[in-house]
Amino acid sequence: MGCDVSETGAGTPFILSLGSNMGDRLAHLERGIRHLARAVSIEAVSTVVESPVWAPSPPQPDFLNLVLRGRTDRDARGLLELAQSAEHSAGRVRSVRRGPRTLDVDIIFFGSEVIDSPELTVPHPRWSERPFVFHLVPEVAGEMVEPGTGERLRDLLPTGPIPPEIVPVAGSSTSWRITTGTRARD
């Protein structure tokens, strides 16, 4: 399982997904978390899972993915800028649309905000269709609620067995060490 620390900080809670299917995938995820943690508070990190790419995308290697919950004083656009700078620092080059990437960082939820602008859609429009997101969000959601319904995400979503096409990466998430002003836990 991932790690979870206090939910008592100030700022807006958010959930991000991180994915990598190029190069040293785990190292890209790890560096991505460190990059984010310099600017926002990370409160919970899920298990790391390996899964095939979701349609519609060109054929490509399997992804390693995780989701995390954090908290920030930034607004959603400021968080998107940070997410994109984390992708950039992992050497991400946008060549093929939906092609392989060293690091993809998507905003899944930002507080209970609903945003629909050309550069940002929140909640992420495909969050419930991506099996890894759907199954990992409950691990980190804490008290966060679904915008609109107000239901707690951890109650809303299945916490049953992870589907067979999603494979937890043994031991990986126990190595995250989050030190961002909140209490760290292995």
The binding site for ligand ADP (CB under 6 A) comprises 80, 94, 98, 104, 106-107, 119-122, 124
* Cβ proximity of 63 and 136 under 8 Å: no
Partner in contact with 30, chosen from Mg ion, ligand ADP, none, beta carbon below 5 to 8 Å by kind: none
User: At its nearest, how many Å lie between Mg ion and the CB of residue 118?
Assistant: 15
CA distance readout (Å), 173 to 61, 93, 177: 21, 26, 9
User: At its nearest, how many Å lie between ligand ADP and the CB of residue 121?
Assistant: 4
* Strands, E assignment, the chain: 3-4, 12-20, 41-45, 49-51, 63-72, 104-110, 115-117, 120-122, 167-168
How distant is the alpha carbon of residue 157 from its chain centre? 16
Q: Considering beta carbons, is residue 148 or 161 the nearer one to ligand ADP?
A: 148
What span, in angstroms and rounded, lies between the C-alpha atoms of 170 and 182? 25
* Catalytic residue annotation: 92, 101, 104, 106
Q: Considering beta carbons, is residue 5 or 18 the nearer one to ligand ADP?
A: 18
User: At its nearest, how many Å lie between ligand ADP and the CB of residue 96?
Assistant: 10
Binding mask 93-112 for Mg ion (x = CB under 5 A): -----------x-x------
User: At its nearest, how many Å lie between ligand ADP and the CB of residue 175?
Assistant: 25
Partner in contact with 50, chosen from ligand ADP, Mg ion, none, beta carbon below 5 to 8 Å by kind: none
What span, in angstroms and rounded, lies between the C-alpha atoms of 154 and 135? 10
Q: Considering beta carbons, is residue 122 or 178 the nearer one to ligand ADP?
A: 122
Q: Considering beta carbons, is residue 43 or 104 the nearer one to ligand ADP?
A: 104
Please return the burial class of 43, using the count of CB atoms within 10 Å of its CB with bins 0-12, 13-18 and 19+: buried
Binding-site ranges for Mg ion (CB under 5 A): 104, 106
